Amino acid sequence: MKFKSIFFLFCGMFLSCSFFEPNVIVIWTDQPEFVLYARLFNENQDRYYAEVQYVESLAQQLNNTKEYPDIAVGYWLKNTVTRNLFRQLNNNTEDFYTHLLELGKVEEKQYLLPVSFNIPALVFSQKNAARISNYWTIPLEEIQELAREYTVLRGGVYTQIGFSPDWDDAFLSAIIRLFGIDFREGTPLEWNKEAFEEAMIFLHTWVHQTITNAQAADDFLFKYFAEPPATRINSGHILFTAMDSATFFKLRQESRAALDFHWITDNDSIPVIEETVYYGICKKGRAPSASQAFTEWFFNTDTQRMLIEENENLNIHDTHFGISNGFSGMRTVSEQVFPLFYPELLAHIPPEEFLSPPNVLPPLWTQIKKNVILPYIRERIKTPDQADERSLERRINDWYRLNAR
């Protein structure tokens, strides 16, 4: 009897050890770049094997599955739907951007790590660089003033227009953040309505002070806006265009050669775009030891340098920027490695204290912003009258009822 007890105790310990865990890691992600990253992981060691499955609506899928992956990487992983699905992480976090790490915490415990992020840029021709006072940021007031000075109307025809804030989704998205409108997860969304109205007045005033002939402006857009943004800038027809950092650095090198850029800011704050990428190990994953091994491999400065080098070797600059199409969530990588591959970033890497991370937002945020919020803002720019303050709220709720599944 004693022998049997010892035998079963030994078997229980043996079966519970990591030897019997699967050595195959299943990664669910909405980031295509992780197919490449998994291949390099598999080639650089022979103990584990990473298998990637692309999942377009990652957060929703995680909420509606009974078979969980080992690792999830993508957008909107910290919300009421998904944030309880992940294991607490014990990785060294001193190399990460502190503000981005905070979004991955629940009750001061780290459950998600930031993979990548982007910030909004104002792009212009190098020929016009001397017009701008600072060397790496540009505040809203200066954009507005320079746009007004650059605009030329002759004989009822615009020959050049400096900039209009309703040209680019990237700029309107920056306005949302810089004015403290503070969209955040609610039922389905909450925000600062007073700040929203202040932003609408600011945008309407800007556009109507800069562009005094609406028909001539429409004719200008019809004539020149079929051209790519870089062509419009270099031709001199416009002074600025706005785009996020990934979009800028995926322009062909010959297009970027004549361009310069500054980060859009206000009060020393640069908004981190809401579509940040986070990484978590699922509680119900079957291979925790293998998942930890992949995590330690991926969040390593030397590894991430190798991943960027591979982008260079494959010559895929027009589809891939940096790490998972953005700056790395590891401060050491963004500050020390990125300028080696993107020389334009020398003296342009924003200090950590300037970065303003987004709020926790629902998984459908991108669609709500694109289909409801930005069209509504463009309507408000055109009319001086304040709309019914509940109009946007009704539109969001109506859209959400039709599209949330």
53-103 pLDDT, tens digit each: 999 989 889 988 889 999 999 999 988 778 789 999 988 999 999 999 999
Say what the pLDDT of residue 347 is.
Answer: 87
Residue from 383, 299, 366 nearest 307 by CA: 299
pLDDT classification of 9: cutoffs 50, 70, 90: very low
- CATH T-level fold of 22-117+275-349: D-Maltodextrin-Binding Protein; domain 2 (3.40.190)
Helices of type H across 114-153: 140-150
Would you say 214 and 164 are in contact if contact means Cβ atoms under 8 Å apart? no
Would you say 124 and 240 are in contact if contact means Cβ atoms under 8 Å apart? yes
Tell me the average pLDDT of the chain.
90
pLDDT classification of 7: cutoffs 50, 70, 90: very low
Question: What's CA 193's distance to the chain center, in Å?
Answer: 24
Report field, pTM of the whole predicted structure over 0.85: yes
* Token pair belonging to 358: 């987004």
Residue 328 has pLDDT above 50, yes or no: yes
Over range 18-41, report the average pLDDT.
91
pLDDT classification of 254: cutoffs 50, 70, 90: confident
Residue from 306, 305, 309, 329 nearest 317 by CA: 309
* Token pair belonging to 120: 């909004």
pLDDT classification of 6: cutoffs 50, 70, 90: very low
Say what the pLDDT of residue 352 is.
Answer: 92
Q: Which residues are registered as beta bridge partners of 121?
A: 243, 263
d(CA 106, CA 103): 8
Residue 405 has pLDDT above 70, yes or no: no
pLDDT tens figures, 89-130: 988 999 999 999 999 998 899 999 999 999 999 999 999 999
Q: The sheet that has 137-139: what strands, in order across it?
A: 137-139, 259-265, 120-125, 241-244
Residue with the larger pLDDT of the pair 2 and 262: 262
Residue 256 has pLDDT above 80, yes or no: yes
Every domain of the chain with CATH number 3.40.190.10 lies at 22-117+275-349
Q: Does domain 120-271+364-403 have CATH number 3.30.43?
A: no
Range 132-135, long-range pairs (CB < 8 A, 24+ positions): 132/262, 134/262, 135/262, 135/347
Residue 284 has pLDDT above 90, yes or no: yes
Over range 361-369, report the average pLDDT.
92
d(CA 385, CA 400): 26
